[in-house]
Amino acid sequence: MAPAHRTAAFLWAVLTLLLWCGFAVAQDPQTSISYFDNLPGRLFFFEDTPTAVYHDTTDGDVYITQDEGRTWDRASGIPRGEALMVIPHPFDTRYAFVLTAGTTHYRTEDRGRTWRSFSVPVAPAFTPYPLSFHSDPSKWGYILYQGTECTLAGWGCTDITYYTTDGFSSDTKELLTDTSRCQFAHSSKDFKHDAHPDLIYCVGFDSSSTGNYHSISSSRLYSSTDFFHTTTLETLGMGRGAKGVVALAIVSKFAVVALKDLSPGADGTMMLYVTVDTKEWAKAQFPHASQARLRENAYTIVESTVHSLAVDVLSQDQGAIGTLFVSNSNGTYFVESLPDTNRNAAGYVDYENVYGIEGVGIANVVSNSLDVERKGQPKKLRSMITLNDGSSWAALRAPSGDVDGHNVPCNPDDEESCSLHLYSVTNPHNFGRVFSSPAPGFVVGVGSIGKQLAPYEDCDTFLSIDAGLTWRMIQRNAHIYEFGDSGSIILLVDDEGPTDSVVYSLDFGKTWKSYNLGMSVRARGLTSVSDATSQKFMLLVQIARKDQKAGQGRYAVIYLDFAGLRSRKCGDDDFERWYARATPDTECLLGVKQWYKRRKADADCYVGDKFIDPTIHEEPCPCEDHDYECDYNYIRSDDKCIPSGLERIPSNMCTSGRPDETYMGSSGYRLIAGDRCDKGRGLRKDEPTSKSCSQAQPAEGEITTQLHDCPADIVQYEFFKDSSTILVRLSDHTIWQSSNEGFTWEQKFPGERFLAFYMNTHTNDRAYLITETSKYYYTTDGGRYWHQANAPSRPNSFRASVMSFQPRSDYLIWVGDVGCDGAAEQCRAQAQYSRDHGRNWHFIDDYVVNCAWARDEELKIDATQILCESYLHKEGSQRTFGRNNPLELISGRDYYGKKTKLFDHVVGFTKFSEFLIVAEYVPQRNALDLQVSLDGRTFAEGQFPPGMHPNTHAYTILESSTDAIFLHMTMSEYPAPFWGNILKSNSNGTYFGLSVENVNRDQYGYVDFEKFAGLDGIALANIVANPAEAALTGVKALQTRITHNDGGTWKPLTPPAADSLGQSYSCSTTKCALHVHGYTERTDARATYSSPSVVGVVMAVGNVGETLAPYTESDTFLSRDGGFTWQEVHKDAHLWEFGDSGSVILLVNDEEPTDHVLFTTDEGLSWREYQFSKDKLRIKAIVTVPDDTSRKFMLFGYSPQSPAASVIVHIDFTSLTHRQCQLNEDNPGHDDFELWSPSEERQEVCLFGRQTLYHRRKRDANCVVGKIPKIGEKFVSNCACTEEDFECEFNHVKNDKGKCVLIAGMTPLESDSTCRGDDEYWYERTAYRKVRYSSCEGGYRPDRGSSHRCPGLRGHSTFFWLTILLLPIAVTVVVVWWWYKKSGLARGTIRLPSSASDYQPLGSFGSGSGNVLDTIASVPWFLLGLAGIAYVYVSSTVDNLVGAFRSRRGYRDVPVDEDAQILRFEDEEE
């Protein structure tokens, strides 16, 4: 070979070798390492930039990298040790702010290259988010700054909010003082509305609040469009009652305000109000009124989509277990989505949406929630996935093989025992989102395969590339993970101990390569740019002490660059379409299919679209039923939308008067907001339809009627509470439903034979239709949808209640027949319970008469306790049992697992208010004892006046609402007509005293006694005026008595001066009074004298005379002042009903068939007649919604010609007037309402020891009250005690002079020498005791005998001991309390851990964006005490690193969203 040729060949060989070597070197990622002294309190990227910030919160320093972690420099311009927190601008990535503990702070406008100082008047507030930003990029400089001003002399601090419009380039201006949170309405990209661009919301305290601390009742929501030069109070549709605001947050497209319910008895209940447009606020309605009640510190608004809000509510007092609810499109109506969700003590919930895939989310549930609650066992977690925005959930399908290709040790087809379970939000191990990233469809998790989630150290790492539909194991052991280059790089680092390598995959996890780091480290975090489009990563590690070199920090950031591994950029042929869901039945969501352009798994190329988010492509789907919702004024009933009433139409329609005239009206459907389905290829359910003008709402002033014929008699009916839906059962065993207050009707499940229906007594929207078999139907949404279920047995035939309920709405008890077929030799009633709303049933007991949950709304005892009346001898047919087989009362705690016999022989038991009352049979005395309990375990025997013990008398427990039991003791002897005495107990139900004698009752035990709704302590009773004569003749002469002090004294009703015709009554002596017919004569017990919606207004049928006349000789009367004065409003006896809070009162003749009704709009000053039918009907009842707030009524009756059938007449007064009543709480008397007091018509100013005013519509105001929020009673002041505030003590009765005296032969109770509270004295008992419901102070005190100084410490005054004991530690307490209140640990704190980027003031470690994960998490305050405060303080200043690092929230390392923050409020009454 020629030399030239040899030389050329040599050069080519050398060049080839060099290229090969270079290529070989390029197979490994490029690395560099930077050392730090401490872990960061915050590590995040500026969005869509290579710039990242490392905030060393221990030393107070900030470090910046401009090359994704390759090199780091300390931030120039910021003094060492000054950086308290770093807050990036969420809407302009050039800007970030460093706040110090003082008033001088720093700003960068070039992503950290340079920093400049600025000053503000006060130091930052003790809140994790002192800054709030405007979302409009053109208003980047609009920033709110929350600071704290403290005064040493006052030992207190005040939060003040300032604002700037140029990013602190000029001096800030004061916005508002005494604020706990201020936020721009335009502060989220998803919350889109047309409100004023400068609209600001602030949670602040009204001017009536004084001092350094505030009552929660003074916390309100204010708004302004001119930086609070003018201020608007946001009433949220509640009027001035919008008090107790505790939090404001913008979550996805919703603005949410949390309020504490300040009404009496609310017990920490919270309310959520939601808006999507800043104009209309609506209260969030939850389906389970008791179980899912929003309690203070017991709910979390979790990651939500733009289509719905998701709220997790703590459902168990033990174990931090919740229930997930998902809202409709406007965030106001919630349905249960997933029970038994896993939570932690801080309020975080194991729930996360898969990024970028609409409707897909992963959650963890507690499979052994029962054992966690009752036995305190560790939780067993299972993972679930939803593909349809929470409508349904399924287990994560386990892969069939492991990482080595071997079969997993269980069958993946058996999802119950072999599914995949993953660690989630409550146990984070890395930055950013737990499972997914912007890389489309990629999901990674650490977990295990089996029945439940294994311990972390026993878990492996799994990958899904189809958004969670299928999974495969990719590595043994637990790893932290990160995605790069739009998912084409997957990087893992061992998370179970020290490691010297990382593993990565370039083909979607099919193959893996390892890269040796050259040193052994403990991984602490792994991250990349926020949108997962870079090929560079930052690995945060801790270096072992033995490997640490002199001059190097203990912690390091290892920079890993994979850009050199692939040389070719992907072309169009390297990509494919990937559809977000691969199952046909869930492909379309909100009318579209979603797909992404994604690199093929085997393509050997890099994507290289750095900082370009994946584009969502949509393909419209044909419109289907689920794309539509009910239109305005229409409501859902099963699969149809029906009108809620007559449709309102424009005034130019239906004007000709022709009977055949039509108009184009709503079809009843509308497309769901945001739905993008193709109507051209699908259903057009929202197109207007032609309707008869008879379906249109008439002109103002007109009334409309609809008549409906029923084939049989009405035997049962009831509304769903707070609903327009009513159920009716006929005597032919059919059930009918109307969802629009009787306007239209439909038969439910034709062909079924129904024996009864039950309304869940604790949950407004649940009901159960009972058939004669074990099959029943139930609804959980107020009758919108019904579902079939099977009970463990058919309904019992022993007259026991078939179903029993308790405040936890999924808890049911069923009592049914067992062994009652054929010869029925072992026929018995068997009880079973369910904790999951009938999905599974568990045996309780056999041979029972009654089984019920012990817990009730006011009887707040063990929720697992079941009470059963159970026969001692359990054999044979229960139908043959007699008194020789005693009925025991068994208490079974732990769901009847721990049984205790309470009584050997009982007649029955009942729960009443806060009392559990048992009638015990004592065979030795052949007598009854009354046993009372407040806790379901310990009982006290009732003590009665002489001659009035239940061992010789029948008794009836009467209604009570004033902390005492009213009991009717029958005193007449059989077979004489029945009457007896009403006794009233003390506060614990054990000592009974006489209230009123000779009260009428009937043969069924019902008593003429009724309390007025809305006015506690006022009641009517009918007494037998001739007991001696009635015992002989059998004819009772009745007289009516009224009490205004809860049974302490009773008086006759004052008769009106003239009748309804202006004539004087024939009876005019002092013996004459008004007497009214009572409870014992009613065919419908719901036809009460009064209504809670019309305070003080009472109606009754009666007469003026010496005694009560027969019903058919009676007239109709009305009182507007709680029964103090009366007027006759119409001759003859009438049925009555209140509508629209009293703005309409309806009367119908109750003596004979009629074709018309009478109505008044001025509470009886004038009456008008309306004919509802051409034929006369006999009306049996007037029915409207339970709260009497509707203008629609139903008349239930029958035609005299067809008494076996029924007629329902629907009468609609909606168009009578369209004017809405106006309420001005700030200026009473200048609106349509008046302030009324029960004392207006009487000499005494006070009732129950206090002067109280009530709001009610003025009598002559012709307007619609409608849904105006009811304003609670207005307390004026407590009064001095008078005789009215006392009643006779036990064993005492009133004599002829009205004085309490000891009953002959009896002994008084011993005096109670117990000293309570700050009492300095105790008093001997007298013949009087104070009415418990009275709040009077001082004045006349006949209940106090001789005084005695309290022994021991009580011998000195409260002031003395406060001075001696508290002064030395006063300063310490103030300091600790201030820190406690301001650090977010105080009771009532609403926590918003929005994202991983959330800045935690105590050194939290994470990054992300609030746009994806916004939460309001309420922290259980009782878990945190002074020890917790001390720990947090120390950890925030000394070693906050490892624990704080665990705060993995939100999506990735995007700048903080100011929506996600801790909102404080002072809710203690200071």
- In tens, the pLDDT along 764-810 reads 889 999 999 999 999 988 898 899 999 999 999 988 899 999 888 88
- Side-by-side strand order, sheet with 536-543: 30-36, 555-561, 536-543, 513-527, 499-505, 489-494, 479-484
Among 237, 344, 247, which Cα is nearest to 296's?
A: 247
- For residue 426, give the DSSP letter: T
Other C-beta atoms closer than 10 Å to the C-beta of 930 total: 26
Per DSSP, helices labelled H in 1367-1459 are 1370-1382, 1426-1437, 1441-1445
Other C-beta atoms closer than 10 Å to the C-beta of 76 total: 12
How high is the pLDDT of residue 139? 93
pLDDT band at residue 435 under the 50/70/90 scheme: confident
Cβ proximity of 777 and 766 under 8 Å: no
pLDDT band at residue 296 under the 50/70/90 scheme: low
Token match 């009260």: residue?
999
CA distances (Å), 116 to each of 131, 392, 662, 1456, in order? 17, 53, 72, 21
Q: What are phi and psi of 683, to 5 degrees?
A: -75, 145
CA distances (Å), 441 to each of 382, 424, 463, 597, in order? 22, 18, 10, 11
How high is the pLDDT of residue 317? 61
**Alpha carbons 862 and 359: distance in angstroms, whole number:** 38
* Amino acid, single-letter form, for residue 1385: L
**Alpha carbons 695 and 679: distance in angstroms, whole number:** 27
* Amino acid, single-letter form, for residue 820: C
Q: Report, in angstroms and rounded to the nearest whole number, the Rg of the chain calculated over CA atoms.
A: 37
How high is the pLDDT of residue 558? 96
User: With 90 as the cut, is the pLDDT of residue 722 above it?
Assistant: no
Cβ proximity of 574 and 566 under 8 Å: no
pLDDT band at residue 210 under the 50/70/90 scheme: very low
**Alpha carbons 913 and 933: distance in angstroms, whole number:** 11
Give the chain's largest Cα–Cα span.
150
pLDDT-above-70 percentage for the chain: 85
Summarize the confidence of residues 1080-1101 as an average pLDDT. 85
Both tokens of residue 660?
A: 């055949």
**Alpha carbons 1055 and 1115: distance in angstroms, whole number:** 13
Render pLDDT for 99-157 as a digit per residue (tens, 0 to 9): 999 999 999 999 999 999 999 999 999 888 899 999 998 999 999 999 998 876 545 68
Summarize the confidence of residues 32-48 as an average pLDDT. 92
Cβ proximity of 31 and 560 under 8 Å: yes
Both tokens of residue 808?
A: 């936890």
Cβ proximity of 298 and 346 under 8 Å: no
* Amino acid, single-letter form, for residue 357: I
CA atoms within 13 A on the CB side of 833: 27
- Return the higher-pLDDT residue of 1423 and 228: 228
How high is the pLDDT of residue 1273? 62
1066: left (phi over 0), alpha (psi -120 to 50) or beta: alpha
**Alpha carbons 1292 and 1301: distance in angstroms, whole number:** 5
Other C-beta atoms closer than 10 Å to the C-beta of 1351 total: 10
User: With 60 as the cut, is the pLDDT of residue 1362 above it?
Assistant: no
Other C-beta atoms closer than 10 Å to the C-beta of 459 total: 23
**Alpha carbons 1223 and 532: distance in angstroms, whole number:** 55
Strand, helix or coil for residue 680: helix
**Alpha carbons 1434 and 634: distance in angstroms, whole number:** 58
pLDDT band at residue 559 under the 50/70/90 scheme: very high
Both tokens of residue 734?
A: 């059919």
- Terminal-residue alpha carbon distance, the chain: 104
* Amino acid, single-letter form, for residue 1096: G
Q: 344: exposed, middle or buried (C-beta count within 10 Å: 0-12, 13-18, 19+)?
A: middle
**Alpha carbons 1042 and 1122: distance in angstroms, whole number:** 10
How high is the pLDDT of residue 454? 95
Determine which helix (DSSP H) or strand (DSSP E) holds 146, and give its type and residue range: strand 143-151
User: With 60 as the cut, is the pLDDT of residue 614 above it?
Assistant: yes
How high is the pLDDT of residue 646? 79
Cis ω for the linkage preceding 975 (within 30 of 0)? yes
User: With 70 as the cut, is the pLDDT of residue 450 above it?
Assistant: yes
Between the CA atoms of 167, 169, 174 and 180, what dihedral angle is there, to the nearest 10 degrees?
30
Q: What b-and-e string marks burial along 526-562, b requiring 16 or more CB atoms within 10 Å of the CB?
A: bbbbbbbbbbbbbbbbbbeeeeeeeeeebbbbbbbbb
Q: Global pTM?
A: 0.68
Cβ proximity of 928 and 907 under 8 Å: yes
User: With 50 as the cut, is the pLDDT of residue 2 above it?
Assistant: no
User: With 50 as the cut, is the pLDDT of residue 501 above it?
Assistant: yes
* Amino acid, single-letter form, for residue 648: R
Q: What is the 3-state secondary structure (H, E, C) of 493-516?
A: EECCCCEEEEEEECCCCCCCEEEE
Render pLDDT for 641-688 as a digit per residue (tens, 0 to 9): 888 777 777 766 777 767 778 888 888 888 876 778 999 999 999 888
- Enumerate helices (H) and strands (E) in the chain, giving the number of each: 8, 101
Summarize the confidence of residues 271-296 as an average pLDDT. 72
- For residue 1233, give the DSSP letter: E
- For residue 1376, give the DSSP letter: H
User: With 60 as the cut, is the pLDDT of residue 1164 above it?
Assistant: yes
**Alpha carbons 852 and 873: distance in angstroms, whole number:** 21
User: With 60 as the cut, is the pLDDT of residue 1460 above it?
Assistant: no
Other C-beta atoms closer than 10 Å to the C-beta of 582 total: 14
User: With 60 as the cut, is the pLDDT of residue 1376 above it?
Assistant: no
**Alpha carbons 167 and 138: distance in angstroms, whole number:** 12
Question: What is the average pLDDT value for the chain, to the nearest integer?
Answer: 82
- Return the higher-pLDDT residue of 924 and 5: 924
pLDDT band at residue 74 under the 50/70/90 scheme: very high
**Alpha carbons 41 and 85: distance in angstroms, whole number:** 9
Both tokens of residue 966?
A: 């009213």
Token match 């990622």: residue?
29
Residues in the chain: 1470
User: With 50 as the cut, is the pLDDT of residue 1428 above it?
Assistant: no
User: With 80 as the cut, is the pLDDT of residue 8 above it?
Assistant: no
**Alpha carbons 1245 and 660: distance in angstroms, whole number:** 61
Token match 């916004």: residue?
1414
Determine which helix (DSSP H) or strand (DSSP E) holds 19, and give its type and residue range: helix 3-25
- Cα 1335 to chain centroid, rounded: 32
How high is the pLDDT of residue 289? 39
**Alpha carbons 1019 and 1009: distance in angstroms, whole number:** 7
**Alpha carbons 442 and 446: distance in angstroms, whole number:** 14
- Cα 845 to chain centroid, rounded: 34
CA distances (Å), 851 to each of 803, 848, 930, in order? 9, 7, 19
How high is the pLDDT of residue 977? 87
Strand, helix or coil for residue 1361: helix
How high is the pLDDT of residue 1009? 92
